[in-house]
Amino acid sequence: MPAIERTEALPLPLTALTEDEKLFQTTVRQFAREEIRPHVRAMDEAGVFRKDLIQQFFAMGLMGIEIPEEYGGQGGSFFQAILAVEELSAVDPSAGVVVDVQNTICNNALLKWATAGQKAKYLPRLAADMVASYALSEAGSGSDAFAMATRAEDQGDHFLLTGRKLWITNAAEAGFFLLFANARPEAGYRGVTAFLVEREFPGFQVGKKEDKLGLRASSTCELILDSCRVPRENVMGEVGQGYKIAIETLNEGRIAIGAQMIGLARGALEHATAYARDRKQFGKAIGEFQGVQFTLAKMAVEIEAARLLVYNAARLRDAGMPFLMEAAMAKYYSSEIAEKAASQAIEVHGGVGITKDYPVEKLYRDAKIGRIYEGTSNIQLLTIAKKLLGK
């Protein structure tokens, strides 16, 4: 049988990390365990992410991983951003999502779609000290993302934006918003336009912060636009091109949600394994009972399978290869596994697992959003099915 010729360069083996990636992973892991872990419970109860930790994110370069060095960033890879989100989320998924939105959604969108002037103006700040937020969703536009009511009225040298955005991550801390509004409602989704909005723009206001089940330290707020004045030069891409920008950005962001979920699941497994070693019943550690061993083993298998899906999608993206279906698979499966792993970790802990004395109940609360935001599980299945059917 003749050998099959490979016409495209394949990504690195999925679990093989370069020396730079290993060092980066180890550094973020150590930081998460030493600097974030002591504050996780307090941040969850207060519903506020510590400002000093965000400052440390910037100092470590975690808020500008892919931003080129010429703009003050790290000049790293998308895969490195995925590693960072995973490692932070293994300790606190709220920390993971702060870094996720900054890197894989906002920074990435600017790197691809912004003009040279827009990059020069905003990327140095996003790498140094300005938190970014992504504002697409509204009360009437969730899975139907482009059924938005926010309008952008063309005034020549500026636009006036009017409407409300809901469920906007990082909004409480952000100074910069990648925000979508419809500048041509008569054109439907082809009127949706991307705007670069600063917090201080007249007519812009951050509204109510949501009181959430999980990811409580990560802010989720309403945005209020009351004839918000946005200069024309702050249109990113062309007027009416916003739907394309949003779709492409979310496709990458879903890989990062997958990383957040495998990090969460890994944290749940680590806690369950440690408890199984220490907790004694009938004169021996519960980890010596086959029933508990099998539970832990199955968790490990499923988490590794989810990790391979996430790493595969990230490697494909970095290699410039198609990754739409792989991203949907990664997001779908990792979010399913995260919820399952968190639930099983509670069961390994028994009665104490549902108390706030142990961290697994928080991971269970944090896991639920994984199957909902940045595309529900049903939306991911629909994407996969369409690709399979050639639609």
Give the pLDDT confidence of 227-269 residue by residue, as tens digits. Answer: 999 999 999 999 999 999 999 999 999 999 999 999 999 999 9
Structure tokens of 294?
A: 């099998």
Residues 253 and 346 in one domain: yes
Q: What is the reported pTM?
A: 0.95
Residues 280 and 363 in one domain: yes
Q: What is the mean pLDDT of the chain?
A: 95
Residues 154 and 203 in one domain: yes
Q: Taking the chain, what is the end-to-end CA distance rounded to the nearest angstrom?
A: 34
- pLDDT, one tens digit per residue, over 156-211 is 999 999 999 999 999 999 999 999 999 999 999 999 999 999 999 999 999 999 99
User: Is residue 50 classed as helix, strand or coil in its secondary structure?
Assistant: coil
Look up the CATH number of the domain holding residue 102: 1.10.540.10
- pLDDT, one tens digit per residue, over 349-374 is 999 999 999 999 999 999 999 999 99
Residues 34 and 168 in one domain: no
Residues 290 and 350 in one domain: yes
Residue 2 pLDDT level (bands cut at 50, 70, 90): very low
Residues 351 and 256 in one domain: yes
Catalytic residue among 66, 87, 339, 374: 374
Q: How many CB atoms lie within 10 A of CB 66?
A: 20
Residue 4 pLDDT level (bands cut at 50, 70, 90): very low
Query: Which carries the bigger pLDDT value, residue 3 or residue 211?
Result: 211
What is the spatial distance between Cα 290 and Cα 8, in angstroms, rounded to a whole number? 46
Where among 74, 109, 131 does a domain terminate? 131
- pLDDT, one tens digit per residue, over 222-236 is 999 999 999 999 999
Q: Is 86 a catalytic residue?
A: no
At 15 the pLDDT is 65
Q: Say if residue 32's pLDDT is above 70.
A: yes
Beta bridge partners of 281: 284
Residues 158 and 122 in one domain: no
What is the spatial distance between Cα 200 and Cα 283, in angstroms, rounded to a whole number? 63
Residues 248 and 383 in one domain: yes
* 339 occurs within a structural domain: yes
Closest CA to 132 of 105, 112, 152: 105
What number is the average pLDDT over the span 71-91? 98
The H-assigned helical ranges of the chain are 19-31, 40-46, 51-60, 78-91, 93-100, 108-113, 116-128, 242-278, 290-318, 324-349, 360-367, 377-388
> In terms of residue numbers, what domain contains 76?
19-131
Where among 106, 131, 156 does a domain terminate? 131
Check the CA dihedral 151-184-120-20 and report its sign: positive
* 313 occurs within a structural domain: yes
Residues 168 and 226 in one domain: yes
Where among 240, 266, 297 does a domain terminate? 240
DSSP character string of 309-328: HHHHHHHHHHTT---HHHHH
Domain count, the chain: 3
* 14 occurs within a structural domain: no
At 92 the pLDDT is 98
What is the spatial distance between Cα 358 and Cα 41, in angstroms, rounded to a whole number? 10
